[in-house]
Amino acid sequence: MALIAWQQGAVAAAPNRGADYFTNLEVVTQDGRTVRFYDDLIKDKLVVISFVFTACKDFCPINTARMTQVADVLGDALGRDVFFVSISVDPENDTPEDMKNFGEAFYDGPGWTFITGSPENLRTIGARLGNRTEERSKHINEIILGNDRTGEWARNTPFNEPDRLATIIREMDPEWRLSEAIPADQFLTLDDLRRYQLQAEPGQVLFRKLCSGCHTVGVGDRVGPDLLGVTERRDEEWIKRYIRDPAEVRRSNDLAAIELGLRYGRVQMPTLGLSDNDAADLVSYLKQQTDEITKARQEAVEQQDHHAPDQTGSNEDEEHAVGATHH
């Protein structure tokens, strides 16, 4: 797999800072367990830290969905070699149960801890990690990558390609770097990246960046519904309106929006400030993907039917063979 040969720079952190820097304050996990932040969640681990709040209607659900895609790429390594920690920036309202419901809407497996706790403790921890704002809606949307064993720390974005981000995370492990050295000719240059961006359709780029963490096209439900055939099930103008401002559609007591809320209500689609053109590009992409997938499935069925054995002919052949043995 080709990879982009650049990564965001390391941030200030030194080996052996440990609990003196990160603090060892008490926090509460989504399962209601009280743990020490450094000793139980950071010490000797390769970690990816993010900030969220469960009532967020903007980027928290998208960022978390994007990290779910990275979790899929990491596979069994998550919970064994790599650990995710999501910290509430709204501990006054985020209970452990809230954090559990929010987390399980995206990921139900090992290696990802969602934490809340006392506001004072979480403010202190957040400040040490670079989140110094008092306003929950203005918390940092970057992710923080760190290897406590080596003292390597860096920032990145959940909007990086999941494959690439998973590789950047694993590259913080020196042993993995040695065992998984990538030949230089397998890296993409910046010119390669620009060519890809120019060739990709706007709707495809938007879908990959904003939608693919919560939705698939033809692969099944994720956090939200599978969007294969959505342009056939729903009026296109309704889809565009919902893409542009889902909160407004929900407030209008729209029946389709109510039904979606009942089925996928743990995390509601956020309002992303997309334009009319953005919505039209996304609808165009979904129509194209549906047409291509439907055509491919039909061709696969026809191919299978073409190569299927003729059961009638087989029976006749068997009867002739049996008759020949009796004669």
Does 18 have pLDDT greater than 90?
Answer: no
Please give the Cα distance from 102 to 98 (Å, whole number).
6
If DSSP codes are grouped into helix, strand and coil, which group holds residue 25?
coil
Does 153 have pLDDT greater than 70?
Answer: yes
Torsion angle in degrees (nearest 10) through CA of 105, 111, 114, 119: -170
Would you put residue 326 in left (φ > 0), alpha (ψ -120 to 50) or beta? Answer: alpha
Give the closest residue to 27 by CA, choosing from 99, 82, 77. Answer: 99
Would you put residue 32 in left (φ > 0), alpha (ψ -120 to 50) or beta? Answer: left
Domains detected in the chain? 3-185 (3.40.30.10), 202-307 (1.10.760.10)
Q: What does the pLDDT read at residue 53?
A: 95
Kindly indicate the confidence band of residue 5, based on its pLDDT and cuts at 50, 70 and 90.
Answer: very low
Q: What does the pLDDT read at residue 16?
A: 57
Say what the pTM is: 0.68
Q: What does the pLDDT read at residue 41?
A: 97
Question: CA 252 from chain center: how many Å?
Answer: 29
Please give the Cα distance from 164 to 160 (Å, whole number).
7
Does 318 have pLDDT greater than 80?
Answer: no
| Element of type H or E holding 152 | strand 152-156
Q: What does the pLDDT read at residue 309?
A: 63
Give the closest residue to 121 by CA, choosing from 37, 13, 43, 32. Answer: 37
Q: What does the pLDDT read at residue 249?
A: 87
Question: What letters, b where the CB count within 10 A reaches 16 and e where it falls short, cover 66-104?
Answer: bbbbbbebbeebbeebbbbbbbbbbbeebebebbbebbe
Kindly indicate the confidence band of residue 285, based on its pLDDT and cuts at 50, 70 and 90.
Answer: confident
Q: What percentage of the chain reaches a pLDDT higher than 90?
A: 43
Q: What does the pLDDT read at residue 311?
A: 54
Q: Is the dihedral of CA 137, 139, 142, 144 positive or negative?
A: negative
Does 305 have pLDDT greater than 80?
Answer: no
Kindly indicate the confidence band of residue 198, based on its pLDDT and cuts at 50, 70 and 90.
Answer: very low
Q: Which amino acid is at 45?
A: K
User: Over the chain, what is the mean pLDDT?
Assistant: 82
Does 195 have pLDDT greater than 80?
Answer: no
Does 225 have pLDDT greater than 50?
Answer: yes
Does 280 have pLDDT greater than 80?
Answer: yes
Please give the Cα distance from 11 to 112 (Å, whole number).
23
Work out the average pLDDT over 69-82.
96
